[in-house]
Amino acid sequence: MTPEINISLKSLHSFASKEITQFFTKLKNKQDIVDACTWSKNNQKPLLVIGSGSNILFTKNFEGLVAKMELMGIRKLEETASEVILEVGAGENWHHFVSYCVQKGWGGIENLSLIPGTVGASPIQNIGAYGAEVQDCIKTIHAFDTTNNEWVNLNNKECAFGYRTSLFKQTKHRYIIAQVQFVLQKQPILKTDYGAIREVLHDKGIKNPSLETISNAIVQIRSQKLPDPKVLGNAGSFFKNPTLPIEKYNELKDLFPNIIAYPISDTEYKIAAGWLIEACGWKGARKGNVGCFEKQALVIVSYGIVSGKEVFDFSEEIIQSVQAKFGITLEREVNIF
């Protein structure tokens, strides 16, 4: 393997900030993955595998090897009267894969339509939207374990999925995901609970939605509400929604009756981080070429050429002001390097 040297990261991640990587390569098959690991160990340089870079912020130049996942392929392994099992290459585009399944009438991931990124990154933070999480459709993951230098198959339980997290996020870079096996349903139960979906279906007079109408509704909602990374650099929600014990939530509710929160168990509430940030006056605010998106405060955007450090510093100011007003420490969802 001979990596390219001193490559700009601008076109390789959705913040499009101006850092560079010392070394760069592409991973088109399983041997490329093994070769990249061997190269990284032999040259004592850290290895960072990326998909389409839509959940990454580089705060400095990367002094190692960035390897872009491009292992492709969608293969049907099994089909019964009720479900289908597919094996999908980590480099496949996530939304293309969702559209392919919706077209075939296989349900489970339609609420995750239009999430940017690759199939291989989808388990990393257990992507979720509109009441669905990818963990509900994952059967196994085929990955290279860089600690033991061996290929492993991890079942759903072993992936330790949680709210926007997983084994892969917790063990930072130990596993390189090559393929994901999905189980999809031929008679799916559709999830239409989120207000925005209900509104679109209601406006269109749709009482019995199909997979396609749900997917189209989500594409419509997302296109109207979220910034297109090709126009404004961003990485989606910059922060996670914090969870609080019910007692702490009740105290806040007394002080801030309009707070937006949802129960997630008998003892905990999930607080809408976007509401906290907006309540601190950040929505639409801008400093230089970095800002808080005017339609959704949870998204930090870049309006021109920026350094990742400027974005990081802006996010730090948001964290400080939310901490000062609500006593809640926001955690970044975006992966910082």
Residue 298: CB minimum distance to ligand NAP, A: 6
Q: What crossing angle do the helices spanning 195-203 and 211-225 adopt, rounded to 10°? A: 110
259 near ligand NAP (CB under 6 A): no
Nearer to ligand NAP, 69 or 218 (CB): 218
237 is catalytic: yes
Token pair for residue 220? 């419509």
Instruction: Select from 129, 141, 306, 311 the one that contacts ligand NAP (CB under 6 A).
Output: 129
> Using CB under 6 A, which of the segments 79-87, 188-196, 204-212, 227-235 binds ligand FAD?
227-235
Name the DSSP class of 187: S
Determine whether 333 is an active site residue: yes
The DSSP string of 197-219 is HHHHHHHTT-SS--HHHHHHHHH
Token digits for 121?
């990154």
Q: Which residue minimizes CB distance to ligand NAP?
A: 236
From residue 155, alpha-carbon distances to 75, 81, 181 in Å are 18, 23, 9
Please identify, among the stretches 115-123, 191-199, 243-251, 316-324, the one whose residues bind ligand FAD according to the rule CB under 6 A: 115-123
Q: Report the DSSP pairing between strands 47-50 and 62-69.
A: parallel
Torsion sign across C-alpha atoms 116, 120, 126, 129 = positive
* Structure tokens belonging to residue 102: 């919706």
Q: Does 315 bind ligand NAP (CB under 6 A)?
A: no
Between CA 4 and CA 23 the distance in angstroms is 6
The CA distance from 33 to 143, in Å, is 10
Q: Which stretch binds ligand NAP (CB under 6 A): 16-24, 39-47, 198-206, 233-241?
A: 233-241
Instruction: Pick one of ligand FAD, ligand NAP, none as the site partner of residue 194 (Cβ within 5 to 8 A by kind).
Output: ligand NAP
Residues forming contacts to ligand FAD in the complex (CB under 6 A) are 14, 48-56, 69, 90, 115-118, 120-122, 124-125, 127-129, 176-177, 226, 229, 234-236, 335
Question: What are the residue numbers of the active site?
Answer: 164, 237, 333
Residues forming contacts to ligand NAP in the complex (CB under 6 A) are 128-130, 193-196, 225-226, 236-237, 241, 260, 262, 270, 272, 274, 296, 298, 333
